[in-house]
Structure 1
Amino acid sequence: MVEILEKVQKVFANIKVEEFMNRDVIYVKPDRTVAQVKEILRLKRISGVPVVDDDGNVVGIISIEDIIKSLENGTLHEKVDKHMTARVICLHKDMTLQEVIKQFERYKYGRFPVVDDDGKLVGIVTKNDILAAVATRLGLLYLHDERRKEVLEGDMLNRSLITGEELNKKGADFYFKIDYFDVNLAGIGAAQLKKFLLNKKVNENVVRRVAVATYEAETNVVIHSGSEGELYCFIAEDRIIVRVEDNGKGIENIELAMKEGYSTAPDYVRELGFGAGMGLPNMKRFSDKMVVLSEKGKGVVVEMVFYLN
């Protein structure tokens, strides 16, 4: 990965942001409601939008994290300016690709607004395939065929699929039973886990990433599994492990499910603001390491690691 990063920086280091940014920016005004933003994110299949005032200045950003907070507090009807993140990290249109990569590495955000000399919004930069390849240290891992069956049908689920350490589920630091009967309850477990970790004094940036990734995993269980699910969290000295399991329909094609925008969610679920096809991609984006195990008819196991340092 380091070698790839060095090669990309050497060849493309001086390309300016304005040469590869997306000029067709989706944004909202501060007087929109959080519920309206939730619908925009669903329709546009994105995980966040800048908030811009009448003069074109970026005054905030609202993301899935803020949607989770509103779900937790029952404030979807309130205005965006009450729930947006006001301290926004923006890129200048003259910044180089090398500088952009450093910003992605530093903040772990999925997108950055781009402004001109006057601070006006002129574009947005996301993690496209190239940036994701050089900015993310470890992407998706999954197991095939006999190895996958060995794990799903054996007792290896009592160990971490990533670190190999024993996981005592009965002694998990946090546990939540996922109810799949009401799609509107999706995200309750993630909200409770977020509150639990903050009470444990876990770094807020780590908690933010855990909450977003867990929200996506929990929502997938509710929408796709057709069965109840279980959410476990294990806190170690240097990392947090989140495990989400269900015994439902399973994923027939993981590669296809990993593509952004691909979704098998029914129309009524989409109308509620879910099923935009960003679940697994967002889990991959916000976790440090991820394993997905599944077989048609045998459920899904998602394990994610978040390093505290």
Structure 2
Amino acid sequence: MNIAFFLTPKNEVVYEKPNSTMRQALERMEYHRYTSVPLVDESGIYVGTLTEGDLLWKLKNTPNLSFNDTNKIIIKDIPRHISNKAVSISADIESLISLSKYQNFVPVVDDNGVFIGIIKRSDIITYCYNLLYGNDELKTSI
């Protein structure tokens, strides 16, 4: 199966730019109720994932940092504690499932590393559930 079937395209994904501020990221993540967002640079290249944990560690490890001062912190200067991997649009489903064990979403890039969207772990779980139990099982449990 082609993983493009699962793709949520970039234009439907909330992401941040590395030159955005910590405050912008905090507010956007709060508004959408996300615990992590992809980071995409000005050229459209996926450069990592920013998590709530990264933001919390930055707050903890920066003496006297208040919420009001978070507009002075640039995201690219915030250490990331987990390196979320992206997959190529041509990757196989096994690679996708393997990465989804550790990530809420899997970023998808084209052959040039340009970010084209994400695949949500919930969509992968639904796919696997349907493989195991089929649609008949879904109908009887509703």
- TM-score grouping bracket, smaller chain normalisation: 0.7 to 0.9
The aligned counterpart of 2:138 is none
Does the alignment pair 1:83 with 2:78?
yes
- Partner AA of 2:113 in structure 1: G
The code of the aligned residue for 1:102 comes to: S
| One of 34, 44, 57 as aligned partner of 1:46 | 34
CA distance in 2, matches of 1:114, 1:49: 13
Paired letter, 1:20: F
Q: Contact 1:61–1:84 at 8 Å: present in 2 too?
A: no
Query: Are residues 1:93 and 2:89 paired?
Result: yes
Q: Which runs of 5+ in 1 are unaligned?
A: 1-14, 136-309
SS at match of 1:36: helix
Question: Which structure has the highest helix share of the two?
Answer: 2
* Higher gyration radius (CA): 1
Count matched residues.
Answer: 119
Q: CA deviation at 1:98?
A: 2.5
Counting aligned pairs with the same residue, the percent is: 25
Name the CA shift for 1:96/1:133 in 2 (closer, same or farther; >3 Å).
closer
RCO comparison, higher one (Cα < 8 Å, 6+): 2
Moved over 4 A (4+): 132-135
Q: Secondary structure at the match of 1:102?
A: helix
Q: Distance in 2 between matches of 1:131 and 1:115?
A: 21
Q: In the alignment, which residue of structure 1 is the partner of 2:49?
A: 61
Instruction: Please tell me the residue identity of whatever aligns with 1:29.
Output: K
Give 2:125's aligned amino acid. Answer: L
Deviation at 1:123, TM superposition (A): 0.6
Offset of residue 96 of structure 1? 2.5
Deviation of 1:88 (Å): 4.1
Q: Is 109-118 or 95-104 further displaced after alignment?
A: 95-104
2:13 aligned with 1:19, yes or no? Answer: no
Partner in structure 2 of residue 127 of structure 1: 121
Higher mean displacement: 23-32 or 126-135 = 126-135
**Quick check: 2:6–2:123 contact (8 Å CA) kept in 1?**
no
Deviation at 1:99, TM superposition (A): 2.1
Match of 2:61 among 59, 73, 78: 73
Q: 2-side partners of 1:60 and 1:129: how far apart?
A: 21
- Supply the RMSD in Å over aligned alpha carbons: 2.4
Q: Return the offset for 1:128.
A: 1.0
* Pairing partner for 1:118 from 112, 117, 131: 112
8 Å CA contact 2:39–2:49 kept in 1: the answer is: yes
Q: Within 2, Cα distance between the matches of 1:119 and 1:87?
A: 16
Corresponding residue of 2:20:
32
Instruction: Look up the match of 1:104.
Output: 100
Q: Identify if the C-alpha distance between structure 1 residues 80 and 18 changes in structure 2 by more than 3 Å, giving closer, same or farther.
A: same
Partners of 2:51 and 2:2 in 1: CA distance? 26
Structure 2 residue identity aligned to 1:22: T
Q: Is the CA contact 2:85–2:99 (under 8 Å) kept in the aligned structure 1?
A: no
Judge conservation of contact 2:58–2:79 (CA < 8 Å) in 1: no
Shift of 1:84: 4.8
TM-score (norm 2): 0.72
